Amino acid sequence: MPEKNHYQKSIIRYFESENQLDLFISSKRNENKKNKTIVGTPHPFLKWAGGKRQLISQLDKFIPLNFNKYIEPFVGGGALFFYLLPTNAILIDNNLELINCYRVIKEEVESLILSLEKHKYEQEYYYRIRAMDRNPQIFMNLTDIEKASRTIFLNKSGYNGLYRVNSKGFFNVPFGRHKNPNICDKENLKAVHKILKNIKIIHGSFELCLNYAEKDDFIYLDPPYYPLSDTALFTSYTKQDFGQESQIKLYEVFKELDKKGCQLLLSNSYCDFILDLYRDYRIITLKAKRAINSISSKRGEINEVLIMN
């Protein structure tokens, strides 16, 4: 383990005392703002397809300076959440395995750490753990801690840190070649545990945010992108697809949230369908590196949009 720098040492010191938490969060948020990136711990505990980590500095200038609650209806790995570190927030996603990880880290982090420490980074072991969801008898008998431990293990050891399921809902990412994957990042898991203390974590579809959204809340919507013809490769975070109908439903929710007086940012792909759908709103073009593509020559820069009200 490399020597901890001064900043990391100061984080650990703050974390020894519960009532220093607010102080920690505000200092960390300032640090993030200054650096326009996610600094040190806590940071996303999973690598997630479509994660916004590398777009943070471009998103930053459009984030409202003041807001009431923070709501993220497609939280995934939560890059923006970990950048902002709001103390009053609602995180929603319809991927049950993902939401279970957030809940277990929030409520039972010590047991999760013990379970994660037992995993081995070996190909045959990986496929054995991966196969558990093929057998309902085995999968149903796993505890929430075991399920979260399995998901984090597969994410750290699988190819490219992806989460992807097939049409039956079975996890289908192959074993990955990593040097020394940090399957149990204890320090980060404990830091995430602390910041999730007062955060509401909800399993369900994005439209649930309408039940919680109020005037002056800040809502970042980062759905599965509307596929461009040559990038239709990856859309399966869950076995339900997010097609044109879902994009239109999302647009209706966006309009409702706008009417409520919420401050909105929405990411999507740059294409005629999306540009036309949101034509009454402000649309900014951002440049993103395309990380998830099996054809390495196609991992270039692409345009995507940021829509705001």
Ligand X SMILES: C[S@@+](CC[C@H](N)C(=O)[O-])C[C@H]1O[C@@H](n2cnc3c(N)ncnc32)[C@H](O)[C@@H]1O
Q: Which residues bind ligand X (CB under 6 A)?
A: 48, 50-52, 73-74, 76-79, 92-95, 205-206, 222-224, 237-238, 242
Of residues 42, 304, 87, the one with CA closest to residue 185: 42
**What is the CB neighbour count within 10 angstroms for residue 103?**
16
State the minimum distance, in angstroms, from the CB of residue 20 to ligand X: 27
For residues 192 and 82, what is the distance between their CA atoms, to the nearest angstrom? 9
For residues 292 and 278, what is the distance between their CA atoms, to the nearest angstrom? 26
State the minimum distance, in angstroms, from the CB of residue 205 to ligand X: 4
Cβ-contact 289, 299 below 8 angstroms: yes
For ligand X, which is the closer residue by CB, 14 or 85?
A: 85
The C-alpha angle with vertex 187 and arms to 50 and 91, in degrees rounded to 5, equals 40
Secondary structure class of 302 (helix, strand, coil): strand
For ligand X, which is the closer residue by CB, 243 or 261?
A: 243
The C-alpha angle with vertex 145 and arms to 42 and 221, in degrees rounded to 5, equals 50
State the minimum distance, in angstroms, from the CB of residue 214 to ligand X: 20
State the minimum distance, in angstroms, from the CB of residue 15 to ligand X: 24
Specify whether the backbone of 216 is left (phi greater than 0), alpha (psi in -120 to 50) or beta. left
Secondary structure class of 294 (helix, strand, coil): coil
Sequence-ordered strand ranges (E) for 223-300: 263-269, 282-289
For ligand X, which is the closer residue by CB, 275 or 288?
A: 288
For residues 244 and 293, what is the distance between their CA atoms, to the nearest angstrom? 22
Mutual angle of helices 96-107 and 144-157, in 10-degree steps: 110
State the minimum distance, in angstroms, from the CB of residue 46 to ligand X: 8
For ligand X, which is the closer residue by CB, 103 or 111?
A: 103
For ligand X, which is the closer residue by CB, 15 or 48?
A: 48
For ligand X, which is the closer residue by CB, 15 or 219?
A: 219
For ligand X, which is the closer residue by CB, 95 or 115?
A: 95
State the minimum distance, in angstroms, from the CB of residue 124 to ligand X: 29
State the minimum distance, in angstroms, from the CB of residue 257 to ligand X: 14
